[in-house]
Chains A and B, each alone.
Chain A
Amino acid sequence: EIVLTQSPGTLSLSPGERATLSCRASQSVSNAYLAWYQQRPGQAPRLLIYGASNRATGIPDRFSGSGSGTDFTLTISRLEPEDFAVYYCQQYIRSPPGYTFGQGTKLEI
């Protein structure tokens, strides 16, 4: 079983600053299978990044994803007030087919 570990658990920053969120897998993950989501309080998750580095439709270009193998990163270049939320990474598992999520990083002001 591949486990995704996100760090830090909580990240305290200010608007305008740069945020770097980490997702580490216990085994190598194909880039195609790695996604990032944002979840604001009381809302459903929103797809930000798919295929490790591709922005989903309508996602601002201040969000970027990078990495390969076991280490992946979500970067928010200049934080806006609406970016303070919880972020999850997710992997697709081929056999048996399924998905797992990291435990989440809370980005707070």
Chain B
Amino acid sequence: QAHLQESGPGLVEPSGTLSLTCTVSNGFISENSYWSWVRQPPGKGLEWIGQVYHSGSANYNPSLRGRVTISIDKSRNQFSLILNSVTAADTAVYFCARHGGYNQDYWGQGNLVTVSS
């Protein structure tokens, strides 16, 4: 069973860069699988940010394209999210998740990131 854990700063300044890492346990990162980031603004619904394949190829939500990069480092059992030029609208709980087919079957517990000066 995969275990995922997000890590990164809880506070980012406006116009700065949000950077999060998801560490995956037990070698699951080496599977032929997709890995996603999903976010949830306080009191609101879920938004898919993007995904990375074990090969390193990535797809992004069109609404965020140009600001977001997702990468994978299998040697460290990690995949990462970078979001540039953040504003208060990017304040959210950020979840990492593993794909089990056309869905996400294992999730991290979430990391709240607040954009504020």
Contacts and interface: CB of A to CB of B under 8 A. Distances in A.
Interface of A: 32-33, 35, 37, 39, 43-47, 50-51, 56-57, 88, 90, 92, 96-104
A44 B102 CA distance: 18
A97 B61 CA distance: 9
A50 B107 contact: no
Contact of B105 (A56, A100, A101): A56
Contact of B46 (A56, A96, A101): A101
B109 interface: yes
A96 B59 contact: yes
A39 to B, nearest CB: 8
A35 B103 contact: yes
B108 to A, nearest CB: 7
Interface residues on B, range: 20 to 34
Interface in B23-82: 36, 38, 45-48, 50-51, 59-62
Main secondary structure of the interface of B (DSSP, over half): strand
B51 A47 contact: no
Contacts of A57: 105
A32 to B, nearest CB: 6
B107 A97 contact: no
B104 interface: yes
Interface centre among A33, A101, A103 (most CB of B within 10 A): A101
